[in-house]
Amino acid sequence: MQKLEKTTPTDYDIMEEIKTRWSPRAFDDEPISESEVKLLLEAGRWASSSYNQQPWRIIYGLKGDAVYDRIMECLIPFNQDWAKNAQVLMVTAYKKTNKDGDDYFHALHDLGLFMGNVVIQANHTGIAAHHMGGIDQEKAHKTFGFTDDFGIATAVAFGRYGGDVKQLPESLQEQELEKKRSRMKIEEFAFNGDFKPKQ
């Protein structure tokens, strides 16, 4: 199937890899290879992080392998219903303490920078990513043997754009087909001066 075209009404001329990125729940059934996953992780590993501590840790599984199934079992049922269409699943985790053993306040920020690189690299190569907060963090932590100084953040589903929307539960099909994307205006979240609460 052809990639659904979304309208992204930007106010400034941004990179195509950012402008055309969106988070589908329907994916093409063409497999994603391990080398393609490693390419995405390579983009991620060059993200900036506080004192170069690189707190991110990633578990990944390719559709058909045991790790994929173990990640799937950690997702909430709502996400399992559509994420089964993905060709790759990831669990993202972060180190909760810094090099001095203190709370690592910036860890989630740094993990976000890592995943930002991954997602833009993915879109550049025609691969879509959909982040999920709906993961049983405690179960994933135990399933994959993380120690106490690590926390689970999200799960992420990857697949190529162009999936058949009819493979989704009916309740999600309309949302998938929406053409126009929207975001807050810059003036609503960025201030050259004091913070202004949203009216």
Question: pLDDT tens digits, residue range 159-198?
Answer: 999 888 988 888 888 888 888 888 999 999 999 999 999 8
Helix axes 34-45, 107-124, angle to 10 degrees: 130
Give residue 89's identity as a one-letter amino acid code. Answer: L
**Residue 176's pLDDT is what?**
85
Domains and CATH numbers, the chain: 22-163 (3.40.109.10)
With contact defined as beta carbons under 8 Å apart, do 198 and 125 qualify?
A: no
The answer, as to whether pTM is greater than 0.85, is yes
pLDDT top residue among 46 and 23: 46
Percent of the chain with pLDDT over 70: 98
pLDDT in tens, 39-77: 999 999 999 999 999 999 999 999 999 999 999 999 999
Three-state helix/strand/coil letters over 126-161: CEEEEEECCECHHHHHHHCCCCCCEEEEEEEEEEEC
Which residues, at least 6 apart from 102, have a Cβ–Cβ distance to it below 8 Å?
A: none
**Residue 137's pLDDT is what?**
98
Using the predicted structure, report yes or no on whether residue 1 has a pLDDT greater than 60.
no
Give me the mean pLDDT over the 136-155 stretch.
98
With contact defined as beta carbons under 8 Å apart, do 7 and 180 qualify?
A: yes
**Residue 61's pLDDT is what?**
98
